[in-house]
Amino acid sequence: MNLSEFDRRSLLRAAGVGVGAAALSAWLPAWAQPVSAGIARPLPTLSGNDITLRIARQTMMIDGRRSSAIGVNGTIPAPLLRLREGQTVRLNVINELDEDSSIHWHGLLVPPQFDGVPGVSFPGIKPRSSYLYEFPIRQSGTYWYHSHSGFQEQLGHYGPIVIDPAGPDPVQHEREHVLVLADHSPLPPEAIFRRIKVDPGHFNRQRQTFAGLLADRDQSLKDRLDWGRMRMDPTDISDVTGVAYTYIVNGHGPRDNWTALFKPGERVRLRIINASSMTNFNVRIPGLRLSIVQADGQNVMPVEVDEFQIGVAETYDAIVTPSEDRAYTIVAEAVDRSGMARATLAPRPGMAGDVPPLRKRPLATMKDMGMDMSNMSGMPGMPGMEGMDMSGGHTAGTRGIDPTAEQNASAKLAAPGGAAMAHRGSMPGMDQSAMPGMDHGAMQGMDHSSVTSTAGQQSGGMGAMNMASMKMRTFSNAPPVKRGPGVQTIAPMPVDRTGEPGQGLEDAGYRVLVYKDLMALDRNPDVRAPSRSIDVHLTGNMERFMWSFDGEKMSDHMEPIPFVEGERVRVTLINDTMMSHPIHIHGHFFELVTGHGDHGPRKHTVIVQPGGKVTWDFTASAVGDWAFHCHLLYHMEAGMMRVVSVRPNGDGA
């Protein structure tokens, strides 16, 4: 018996009345509804050197319900573009809307005028007009395309891209399927944005309750009171949830049962694209292991996992080898557990596997505030930290770096305008750069009078130490950040979380992919040590739905972040907020600094976990202006975006 049958029967018994199943099913969430016979149609595909794409308003059917949308060539998602490395493609895009539109080729290395971001290096496509994109295909892998105009992406203006390599594909498979994950709402995106601007928790229906306290499902009473005094909500994981969204696969809802076919024993390649506007997904196929072979279009050494988290705008390719003659459920569970997209992998159409129940929703912890104390020792109540000097200096926004062994460099490289400052204390097991300059005065603008927790509890992670005086808005910890109402918190102790699986997956009970698992299949094209390093802080005010980089939103700071052609720079993204941010840079790839040296994974988008930081090395190889932003659509619209400007190097370095 699958979950939908179980829930329906349980609800009928609980009601104690002769309510028809059809009437009652209207109250069930989409993922728990009875499934249809299954849709096994492949995505419409376009290929060749000359392709025409028409952008127009239309409607789409999701689980039998009609919704307003914007599609391309009459389909949602837009047609799959099947290209080949080495070809030159001409894409004639016709805008049939009554408003400006655009297409950004996400992850493709294209000239800046064809990158498709209005106001950066491209004027946009006017209503009832066309624009010709023309560029060489310089790579292979799984990518996607979408509008960069207003909220059109939320309405369905996105589609997949698959680029076959010029030579043999190192990933061997007998069959492949493209899965485009997305979130869709009957609410107009302007209405969604307006509601979360007025009330950022408007769509959160999973707040803690008295019943949850009694059932020991949520925080303890003490922790709940502590968080309440801080005016922080540990259930605030996603801004827009399953209350507003139906989570879809290839344009189809959970009831539609989109089906990918296989023959038992085949190696099946799943090209998974997260084209959603606001939803990170946790992806798994109960009963099958996933071999991750590509991330963001770049081949990686195969990694066997049971589940992975995919951020908005990321892509992962996975190989599965189903051996049994049965149906498997492809589960893409929203990170806040408010719903799921689901599809089926089956030997024949019309089959369906069991749909697992939604798991318990995660709760944010002190670590998500950038206040992880689990590796600390010797402070009051923590053996081994007595006498430690906490008054060390802070690093500048642009600083010199000590290249690690993975760059095979030993000299200390000074950045223009500053050098790294020494820290006087030492903290075994934690990154010292997160801690210097800690101000132990009263917290500004937030009651932190009792930020304590029971020793060893994950919800607090602070042992017996009273952190009442630790400030979470100490700007000396973040020199680049501009003071203002848009910066609610500065993470006191951000840590590298690339070895962690993501919120809610810490205790999955099986192997979950982490960024540190990823190793490039081939040696990186540029293995020079960086010559300088910069910090970029991800900032926001969750109570006002204000989002920015370094405390400045795009509309208030038009000066680009400068780079020189050919220079190698280390960039550290520091998340001062309690929400994950998938950060994307246009026109370039970067190499995550995760300990794999010249085989660091190359990506174009990376999730920066709450209270965490991510470091990557970047070669400014493409002259021009490029967008750099959070790929949560409403965060970008609210200001979490900047322009990166790469200027020509006169000496050709």
- What is the phi-psi region of residue 444: left when phi exceeds 0, alpha when psi lies from -120 to 50, beta otherwise? beta
- List, as one string, the DSSP characters of 81-119: EEEETT-EEEEEEEE-SSS-B--EEET----GGGS--BT
Q: How far apart are CA 640 and CA 539, in angstroms?
A: 8
Span of 256-265, 451-460, 610-619 with lowest mean pLDDT:
451-460
Q: What are the start-end ranges of the H helices in 156-251?
A: 189-198, 210-214, 221-229
Reduce the DSSP state of residue 638 to 3 states and report it: helix
Give the residue range(s) of CATH 2.60.40.420 domains in the chain. Answer: 45-167, 369-653
pLDDT at site 215: 55
Alpha-carbon separation of residue 541 from 443, 485, 613, 628 (angstroms): 16, 7, 18, 20
> Which two tokens mark 353?
């596997």
Q: Which amino acid is at 232?
A: M
Using DSSP, how many helices (H) and how many strands (E) does the chain show?
6, 33
Q: SS3 of 154, please? A: helix
Per-residue pLDDT, averaged over 484-498, amounts to 91
With CA atoms as reference, report the closest residue to 290 among 318, 263, 260. 318
Distance CA 568, CA 273 (A): 29
Q: pLDDT value at position 322?
A: 98
Classified by CATH at the fold level, domain 369-653 comes out as Immunoglobulin-like (2.60.40)
Q: What was the pLDDT predicted at 81? A: 98
* Whether pLDDT at 428 is above 60: no
Centre a 10 Å sphere on the Cβ of residue 419 and count the other Cβ atoms it contains.
Answer: 14
pLDDT of residue 475: 72
Q: Output the six-digit token pair for 135.
A: 């560029």
DSSP states of 235-249 as a string?
T---SS-TTT-EEEE
- Average pLDDT in the 251-257 region? 95
Q: Which helix (H) or strand (E) holds 637?
A: helix 633-638
- Taking CA atoms, 289 is separated from 181, 299, 361, 481, 510, in Å, by 20, 19, 23, 43, 10
Distance from C-alpha of 452 to C-alpha of 222, rounded to nearest angstrom: 9
Closest CA to 275 of 93, 155, 144, 147: 144
| Cα–Cα distance for residue pair 626/560, rounded to 1 Å | 9
Output the pTM of the full model: 0.82
> Average pLDDT for residues 532-536, to the nearest whole number?
96
CATH superfamily of the domain spanning 45-167:
Cupredoxins -  blue copper proteins (2.60.40.420)
| Cβ atoms of 379 and 462 closer than 8 Å | no
- Residue 636 in 3-state DSSP? helix
549 residue type, one letter: F
- The pLDDT of residue 120 is 95
On the question of pLDDT at 288 being above 60, the answer is yes
* Residue 5 confidence (pLDDT) above 60: no
Interatomic CA distance for residues 522 and 509, integer angstroms: 31
Determine contact, residues 573/497, Cβ cutoff 8 Å: no
Chain centroid to CA 636 = 13
Tokens matching residue 334: 């929203």
DSSP for 20-66, written as a single string: -HHHHGGGS-GGGSPP-S-B-PPPPEEESSEEEEEEEEEEEEETTEE
**Better-scored residue on pLDDT, 449 or 245:** 245
Return the higher-pLDDT residue of 553 and 228: 553
| pLDDT at position 456 over 70 | no
pLDDT tens track for 604-635: 999 999 999 999 999 999 999 999 999 999 99
DSSP 512: B
Strand partners, 158: 146
- Taking residues 418-442, what's their average pLDDT? 34
| Report for 106-115, 391-400, 476-485, 549-558: range of highest mean pLDDT | 106-115
The amino acid sitting at 293 is V
Q: Is 368 helix (H, G, I), strand (E, B) or coil?
A: helix
Q: What is the rounded CA–CA span in Å between residue 105 and residue 93? A: 12
Q: Could you count the other beta carbons within 10 Å of the beta carbon of residue 165?
A: 15
Instruction: Give the C-alpha separation, 61 to 186, whole Å.
Output: 11
pLDDT at 57: 98
CA 487 → CA 362, 481, 545, 575, distances in Å?
25, 8, 10, 12
pLDDT digits (tens, 9 = 90+) for 359-414: 988 876 767 677 776 655 444 444 333 333 333 333 333 334 333 333 333 333 33
d(CA 591, CA 307): 23
CA separation for the pair 102, 82 (Å, rounded): 20
Average pLDDT, the chain: 81
pLDDT band at 318 (very low <50, low <70, confident <90, very high): very high
Distance CA 255, CA 63 (A): 5
Residue 602's nearest CA partner among 621, 577, 627 is 621
For 5, 172, 374, 510, the CA distances from 328, given in Å and listed in that order, are 17, 22, 39, 18
Residue 200: which of 543, 598, 561, 619 has the closest Cα?
A: 543
- Here the tokens at position 248 are 């879809």
**What distance in Å separates the CA atoms of residue 194 and residue 471, rounded to the nearest whole number?**
31
Q: How many residues does the chain have?
A: 653
With bands split at pLDDT 50, 70 and 90, how would you rate the model's confidence at 229? low
